[in-house]
Amino acid sequence: MKRVITNIIQVIIFILIFMIIFIKINDILRVKVHTNDTIGSFYKERSDSIDVIFVGSSHAFSSFSPMELWDDYGITSYNLSTGCQSLPCSYYLMKEAIRTQHPKVVVLETYASYYMTDYISTARVHQAIDCIPLNQTKFEILTDYLSDTMSVHERLEYVFPIALYHSRWKELKKNDIRPKKTYLRGYYTQLHINEQQEIDLSDEVVEVYEKNISYIEKMIHLCEKNDVELIMCQTPIAKNKDYKNICGRMKTIENYAVEQGISYINYDKLRDILKLDYKVDFADSKHLNIIGASKTTSYMGDYLKTHYELADHRNETDYDNWVKDCEFYKKYIHQKKEEMLSQRNQ
Amino acid sequence: MLLNSFVFLIFFPIVCILYYIIPYRFRHIFLLIASYYFYMCWNAKYALLMLTSTVITYLSGLLIHRANQIPHESKREKYRKLCVLVSFSLNLAILVFFKYFNFLIETINHILAHMHISLLNVDFDVVLPVGISFYTFQALSYTVDVYRGDIYREKNFLKYALFVSFFPQLVAGPIERSKNLLKQINGKHDFDIHKVHTGLSRMLFGLFQKMVLSDNISVIVTEVYDNHSSYGSLELIFATILFAFQIYCDFGGYSNIAIGAARVMGFELMENFNTPYMADTVADFWRRWHISLTTWFRDYLYIPLGGNRKGRLRKYINIMIVFLTSGLWHGASWHFVAWGGINGIYQIIGDVLRPIRDKMAVWFEVDRKLFSHRIIKVVVTFVLVDISWIFFRADTIGQALAIIKGMCTRIHLGVLLDGSLFRMGIDIKQCMIVLAALVLLILTDICKYIKLDLIEGLCRQGVWLQYMVYLFLIYSVLIFGSYGPAYDASQFIYFQF
Chain-centroid distance, C-alpha A329: 19
The Cα B438–Cα A333 span in angstroms is 52
Segment (H or E) for A54:
strand A52-55
CB contact under 8 A, A123 and B470: no
Angle at B171 between CA B239 and CA B301, to 5 degrees: 85
Three-state DSSP state, B12: helix
The Cα B274–Cα B174 span in angstroms is 13
* Edge-first strand listing for the sheet containing A263-266: A77-79, A52-55, A105-109, A229-234, A263-266
Residues in chain B with CB shorter than 8 Å from the CB of A17 are 467, 471
Q: Helix, strand, coil % (nearest 5) of chain A?
A: 55, 5, 35
The Cα A131–Cα A182 span in angstroms is 15
Q: What's the distance, Cα to Cα, between the start and end of chain B in Å?
A: 39
- Shortest Cα–Cα distance, A142 to chain B (Å): 18
Q: CB of B176 within 8 A of CB of B441? A: no
Q: CB of A129 within 8 A of CB of A43? A: no
| CA nearest to A3 within chain B | B193
- Whole-number pLDDT of residue A299: 93
- Whole-number pLDDT of residue A98: 94
**Residue A108 DSSP code:** E
CB contact under 8 A, A162 and B483: no
**Reported ipTM exceeds the 0.90 cut:** no
Domain boundaries, chain B: 6-188, 196-480
pLDDT along chain A (346 residues), means of 10: 85 92 88 73 89 92 92 92 91 94 93 88 86 90 89 85 86 79 84 87 87 92 93 91 89 91 90 88 90 92 92 87 89 89 81
Per-residue three-class SS string for B190-220: CCCHHHHHHHHHHHHHHHHHHHHHHHHHHHH
The Cα A76–Cα A70 span in angstroms is 6
Chain B window 447-476: which residues touch A at a Cβ cutoff of 8 Å?
Answer: 463, 467, 470-471, 474-475
Nearest to A91 by CA among A40, A49, A66, A125: A125
CA distances from A168 to A178, A240, B323, B407, B487 (A): 16, 36, 44, 34, 8
- Whole-number pLDDT of residue B458: 86
In B331-370, which ranges are continuous DSSP H helix? Answer: 334-363
Residues in chain A with CB shorter than 8 Å from the CB of B488 are 123
Shortest CB distance from A170 goes to which of B427, B471, B481? B427
pLDDT along chain B (497 residues), means of 10: 82 92 89 91 84 91 85 84 88 85 81 74 67 88 89 87 90 85 86 89 92 90 88 89 92 92 92 91 91 91 84 88 91 89 92 88 81 89 93 90 89 76 83 93 92 85 89 92 73 54
Shortest CB distance from B487 goes to which of A58, A165, A188? A165
**Residue A55 DSSP code:** E
The Cα A130–Cα A158 span in angstroms is 6
What single-letter amino acid sits at B376? I
CB contact under 8 A, B497 and A83: yes
Residues in chain B with CB shorter than 8 Å from the CB of A18 are 471, 474
- Shortest Cα–Cα distance, A162 to chain B (Å): 7
- Whole-number pLDDT of residue A101: 92
Q: How many CB atoms lie within 10 A of CB A270?
A: 16
- Whole-number pLDDT of residue A70: 92
Q: Active-site residue numbers of B?
A: 330
Nearest to B430 by CA among B207, B248, B240, B213: B213
CB contact under 8 A, B485 and A164: yes
Residues in chain A with CB shorter than 8 Å from the CB of B493 are 31, 33
Chain-centroid distance, C-alpha A2: 53
DSSP states along A236-284: -----TTHHHHHHHHHHHHHHHHHTT-EEEETTTTHHHHT--TTTSBSS
CB contact under 8 A, B6 and A156: yes
